[in-house]
Amino acid sequence: MAAAPETMLKLVPRQIERLIYPVGFYRTKARVILGICRDLLARFDGRVPDTIDELLTLNGVGRKTANLVVTMGYGKPGICVDTHVHRISNRLGYVKTGNPEETEMALRGKLPRRYWIGYNDLLVSFGQNICVPISPRCSLCPVATLCRRIGVTTAR
C-alpha cells in the first residue's frame, strides 16, 4: 500500500532520495514529492485527485504524470506521452507534431480510446530497444514495412 501524504511528510528528503535513487533528478524530485504531499493535504484533504486538470494544479506534475496517475491509479482513459511515444508516433507518420503535448492531443483525436492506456507501455520498451532516437534498428523492426521513417537519416 502506498504511503499517505502524512506519512511521507515524516521523512526527510534524504530518505526519499535513497528510495528513488535510480530515477533521474532524484534530489529535486524528492523535494517535489514533499511539496506535493503538503499540497494534497492542504487542498485535497490528503486525496490524490482523479482528474488531469486537478493533478496539473500540483507543482511538479506535468501532463505525462497526470495521465499516468489517472490511467494507472484510477483506470480512466488517458495517454501518457513521453519522449518515446512522441518520437515513434511521429516517425511512423501516425501524427505530425512538434512536442509531447501536441502529440497527446493528436493521439486523443486519432487513436481509438481502447488503446490509450496501453499505448505508452507498448512504445516505451520498443523505443528503448528497437526504435531508438539515433540510428534505429529498422532491420529488427516488426513494423518496418508500415513505417514512414520520418526524420530517420541513419538506420541499422
Active-site residue, selected from the candidate residues 29, 82, 110, 121: 82
Q: Round to whole Å and give the CA distance between 115 and 77.
A: 9
* CA–CA distance, 43 with 48 (Å, rounded to integer): 10
Query: How far apart are the C-alpha atoms of 104 and 98, rounded to whole Å?
Result: 11
Strand ranges in the chain using DSSP code E only, listed in sequence order = none
CB-based contacts of 8, cutoff 8 Å, min separation 6: 16, 33, 34, 37
Mark whether 64 is an active-site residue: yes
What does the radius of gyration of the chain's CA atoms come to, in whole angstroms?
A: 18
- 50 in catalytic set: no
Active-site residue (options: 64, 76, 96, 110)? 64
What's the distance, Cα to Cα, between the start and end of the chain in Å? 44
User: Residue 55 has which C-alpha cell?
Assistant: 493533478
Phi, psi of 45 (to 5 degrees): 55, 35
Active site residues: 64, 82
